Amino acid sequence: MDIKNRIDELKKILNEASVAYYVNDKPFMEDYEYDRLMNELIKLEDENPELKTPDSPTNRIGGEVLTKFTKVTHETKMMSLADAFSFDELKDFDRKIKEVTPDATYLCELKIDGLSVSLKYEKGILVRGATRGNGLVGEDITHNVKTIKSVPLRLKDDIDIEVRGEIFMPKKSFIQLNLEREENEEELFANCRNAAAGSVRQLDSKVAAKRNLDTFLYYNQDIKVKTQEEALLSMKALGFKTNPLYKHAKTIEEVFDYINEMAEKRESLEYDIDGIVIKVNEIEYHDLIGETVKYPKWAIAYKFPPEEVKTKLLDIIFQVGRTGVITPVAIFKPVFVQGSLISKATLHNEDYIKMKDIHINDNVIIHKAGDVIPEVVGPVVEDRGFDIKNFVMIDKCPSCGSPLSKINGEVDYYCLNSNCDSKRINQLIHFASKPCYNIDSLGDKLTEQLYQEGFIKDITDIFNLYSRYDDLIKLPGLGQKSIDNLLKAIDESKNNNLDLLIFGLGIRHCGAKASKIICKKYRNIDNILNATEEDMANLDDIGEIISKSIYEYMHNEENINRLTVLKLLGLNMEYHMDEIKENYFTNKKCVLTGTLSSMGRSEAKKLIESFGGSLSESVSKKTDIVIVGDNPGSKYDKAKALGVYIMNEEEFLNKINE
């Protein structure tokens, strides 16, 4: 047998089988036969590694491990699209198009809720996959792209081409992935988009290969075609997977019809969509219509309004927070809301439940407040049956059984028992969490385990764990390496800036922002201990409530002793001012709404603050900039109403990098 010819034959058969199954949905081979041929190819390539090529389907198994991602400069900028949130905005878009090209028509495509990808082929073979990044520079994710079965490793023609599209995670894969993570006590992904983004950024391609990602391609810049519809057909002919649910619309009214149709079908789709992309179909008109620095003028993305879903409220339980606050939590039949499987949501307090007239066994409407946080909008009163149960507020702590109290006329009930296990566990979890003292390796589950085993009852105990090494090694699930990593992380955390310690202490009303303001003013723990309530209240963004809370904490004997012990244990008690680089964001008050594709909220906040700016939670006339990501909430509408400057993610990244 000629081994090279056999390998080439197997590659051809298996690649064609993948296209038939994953792209065209017309399999011609049974799974067992595919597996048999794949195993034969793996064996031949293992025995003859010099004959393995980039287009081999064995690359889909994964196995390449990177130490870091390399940067990729896009030959042509990967532009984003302007957003529209109403049909009136689409009418305005249509009017501007028709002023330049009166006979233009539109191609409407589903806006897949995933992440943008660029695929580059040379002589028909995939040579590079890259993320969008900031549009100019992305990251090389070729090793992970090769594991996606709908991405052709070899095209049907030996041509040079770059195509662009979306990587996404099907809903079914998302559910399965989170079930596995739950069993392994790993943090769950919030939605399909986050899961897909986390998967393509794995350094180990074997991990990405298990995630069952998928793609839809929608753009090519190398094949000469006359329309966007022809572009989709040409890509499909080459072996790319394209979305078949597009529509050629001759008028803006037909665009509206398509949007309404897809809004109804949205829930039944096997993948998440968050809107519709409308493009001028005639490619020759694109240059005539032009583009801005940020967007092409010949395309726009219509974003669906926040999705509301009906489900059944099964129960209302109670949680004890780190301050002792008792929070009612709705438990309902799990339901998908904007890409996330939701089964519970906070009901805030007794007054909130009564105001909303919520009963157990009601059908309720769920949405995501600000497109992020699950929220119960209210009951469907007309569905109400005879099995409903009135909500009854508890009068004892569900954890320790202590009587509950209201503080200073607040609407919330509190457990005032300082030895309440739930309070103390949540205080410890808060302290070790990423936004606070950021002790790597000390996650929620381990913190609770160490508490239950008696190893940590107070913050100070965390920094004495090194003396319990012999006991720790006996705990189930903790090996020597895990313990060494934990103790190293604890030791390194002692160098954290003082504001992280103040925030981590869990002082009521004193969040991350207030902690930083206090520390910038007083610079060390002794000065904070000696500060008067009046002095603190006069600081910007502090006020009487926060200053009173900090003052009372700093003058409580138990807390003073705790801080003394932490100082003796070697924790940094000074605030080190970061050197601020002058930038566009210096002295600017910013608000972020929606999800940024390139970074998390905390990272964006750190970047803005590193240039001397600030990030606030609410939009007002004093706001300088509102930074808008995917699925922006009501803050975007308020910014438009107040005339506040609105900045998209691309401009934000450009300004950060100036």
pLDDT score for 581: 67
The confidence band for 383, taking pLDDT boundaries of 50, 70 and 90, is: very high
pTM: 0.55
Q: What is the pLDDT of residue 1?
A: 63
What CATH number did the domain enclosing 118 receive? 3.30.470.30
Tokens read off for 62: 């994964």
Q: Look at residue 293 and tell me whether its pLDDT is greater than 90.
A: no
The arithmetic mean of pLDDT across residues 26-42, rounded, is 76
* Residues sharing a CB contact under 8 Å with residue 238, sequence separation 6 or more, in sequence order: 152, 155, 156, 157, 159, 161
Task: Tell whether 345 and 272 lie within a shared domain.
Answer: no
Residue 486 and residue 630 in one domain: no
| pLDDT at residue 152 is higher than 80 | yes
Long-range contacts, 485-488 (Cβ 8 Å, 24+)? 485/440, 485/441, 486/441, 486/442, 486/446
State the pLDDT confidence band at 67, using cuts at 50, 70 and 90.
confident
User: Do 166 and 282 lie in a common domain?
Assistant: yes
Q: Which residue has the tokens 């070899």?
A: 154
Percent of the chain scoring above 70 in pLDDT = 95
CATH number of domain containing 528: 1.10.150.20
Residue type, 582: E
Q: Look at residue 339 and tell me whether its pLDDT is greater than 80.
A: no
Residues 135 and 281 in one domain: yes
pLDDT of residue 580: 59
In a domain, 68, yes or no: no
Do both 212 and 329 map to the same domain? no
Contact 595, 631 (CB under 8 A): yes
Same domain as 328, residue 277: no
Is the residue at 67 inside a domain? no
**What is the structure's pLDDT at 372?**
62
What pLDDT, on the 0 to 100 scale, is given for residue 652? Answer: 87
CA distance 614 to 605: 7
pLDDT of residue 185: 62
Same domain? 148 vs 293: yes
Per-chain mean pLDDT for the chain: 88
CA distance 145 to 126: 10
In the prediction, which pLDDT does 63 show?
62
In the predicted structure, residue 612 carries a pLDDT above the cut 70: yes
pLDDT above 90: residue 600: no
Residues 249 and 332 in one domain: no
Model confidence band, residue 112 (pLDDT cutoffs 50, 70, 90): very high
Distance CA 137, CA 435 (A): 28
Average pLDDT rounded to a whole number, residues 500-520 = 90
Range of the domain at 37: 3-61
Question: CATH number, domain at 397?
Answer: 2.40.50.140
3-state class (DSSP) for residue 269: coil
Residue 582 lies in a domain: no
Residue 21's pLDDT is what? Answer: 66
Instruction: Provide the token pair at 124.
Output: 């028909």
pLDDT of residue 347: 94
311 has a pLDDT exceeding 90: yes
Local structure of 216: helix, strand or coil: strand
Q: Is the pLDDT of residue 62 over 70?
A: no
* Dihedral sign computed on CA atoms, order 322, 633, 637, 330: negative
Instruction: Give me the pLDDT at residue 556, please.
Output: 94
Active-site residue list? 111
pLDDT of residue 4: 82
Structural domain count, the chain: 6
Whether 182 and 285 map to the same domain: the answer is: yes
DSSP string, 100-163: H-TT--EEEEEEESSEEEEEEEETTEEEEEEE-TTSSEEEB-HHHHTT-TTS-SB-SS---EEE
The answer for residues whose C-beta is within 8 angstroms of residue 628's C-beta and 6 or more apart is 83, 593, 594, 636, 646, 647, 648, 649
Which of 303, 333, 349 lies at the terminal end of a domain, its last residue?
303
What average pLDDT does this structure show over 128-152?
A: 89
Whether residues 539 and 627 fall in one domain: no
> Alpha helix locations (H) across 201-282?
205-209, 228-238, 252-265
Q: How far is CA 331 from CA 34, 157, 244, 526, in A?
A: 44, 54, 38, 45
Q: How far is C-alpha 537 from the geometric centre of its chain's CA atoms?
A: 36
Q: What confidence score (pLDDT) does residue 24 get?
A: 65
Q: How many other CB atoms are found less than 10 A from the CB of residue 242?
A: 20
Classify residue 460: in a domain, yes or no.
yes
One domain, residues 556 and 631 = no
Average pLDDT on 137-153 reads 91
185 versus 125: the higher-pLDDT residue is: 125
Q: Which of 616, 593, 599, 431 is nearest to 517 (CA)?
A: 616
pLDDT of the residue at 558: 93
Q: Are residues 176 and 324 in the same domain?
A: no
The answer as to whether 578 is a domain residue is: no
